[in-house]
Amino acid sequence: MCNKQEIINKNINIEIRLLLEAIYEKFGYDFRSYSKAHVKRRILYRLSASELKSVSEMQYKVLYEDGFIDILLKDLSINVTEMFRDPLFYKAIRDEIIPIIKTYPFFKIWHAGCSSGEEVYSMAIILKEEGIYDRAQIYATDFNQQVLKKAKEGIYHIDKIKEYTRNYQKAGGVNSFSDYYMAKYDSVILEKSLKKNIVFADHNLVSDSVFGEMNMIVCRNVLIYFNSDLQNNVVKLFEESLMPGGFLCLGSKENLKLSESFSDFKVIDDKEKIYKKKLY
């Protein structure tokens, strides 16, 4: 026999499923295959912050109150990022991928789930320092229009700049990080030339199709928020979007070894989760 708390949790889970269905039916955003723990945590956070009494009340606001869905999308999307996050990953890019990409006359990189763009610009800086940025086309995608707008602007709060500078140095930066931005009031504005070969676009990993013929795909610490079926679907999407010999770069907490597509890849750097699509 269920106790009172178990009944409450069961009812909340039902309400959350109905809320996710409502979001999908009305707006086309599909969070139904996201990790249940992640979705529940973010929805309950917004419930508390909005001082609502129930998830059902939140569903009413989503359906009938203009603008509330934008607030909830910001909560549910994955926006954990920073310049040169996990610096040793970027060091591995310099050491293990750049020497190969340097042999290409032209190459394409897809940053999937780019959030507010810090890691996209980090890649642009590396390519610039390696003398190959002019040969690159970078596609930066996310389903969240608000974070895409911020990414396009390339303006970040100055409070983060010390941390970003440390990351850049640990990642093997060869210049002064201050060469790449201008400080203005409480913000830093990234150098305009970094945007030259970046295309920011709307793309949803859950529902959209192949983003084809890439030489490198970077999608770091996004898959961990998906259930296992969705993880497999997204990795298959990446595999189909990569050229033979192309590189797939995941996050430190992610692993291809449990994926149905693992046999299609060769491990390049197990610690930094860098893989190469096999040629056959």
The pLDDT value given to residue 2: 65
Look up residue 157 and give its DSSP letter: E
Contact residues for 15 (Cβ-Cβ < 8 A; gap 6+): 54, 55, 56, 59
Determine the Cα–Cα distance for residues 251 and 239; give it in Å rounded to an integer: 16
Count of beta carbons in the 10 Å neighbourhood of residue 119: 24
Residues in the chain with pLDDT values less than 70: 1-2
Nearest alpha carbon to residue 114 among 84, 147, 92: 147
With b for 16 or more beta-carbon neighbours within 10 A and e for fewer, the 197-210 pattern comes to: bbebeebebbeeee
Nearest alpha carbon to residue 108 among 218, 216, 212: 216
Nearest alpha carbon to residue 194 among 138, 111, 149, 144: 138
The pLDDT value given to residue 76: 87
Q: Radius of gyration over alpha carbons of the chain, in Å?
A: 20
Determine the Cα–Cα distance for residues 58 and 39; give it in Å rounded to an integer: 14
Count of beta carbons in the 10 Å neighbourhood of residue 72: 21
Torsion angle, alpha carbons of 85, 91, 97, 100, to 10:
140
The pLDDT value given to residue 128: 97
Determine the Cα–Cα distance for residues 126 and 154; give it in Å rounded to an integer: 16
Structure tokens at 149: 């707008």
Q: Contact, 273 vs 250, CB < 8 A?
A: yes
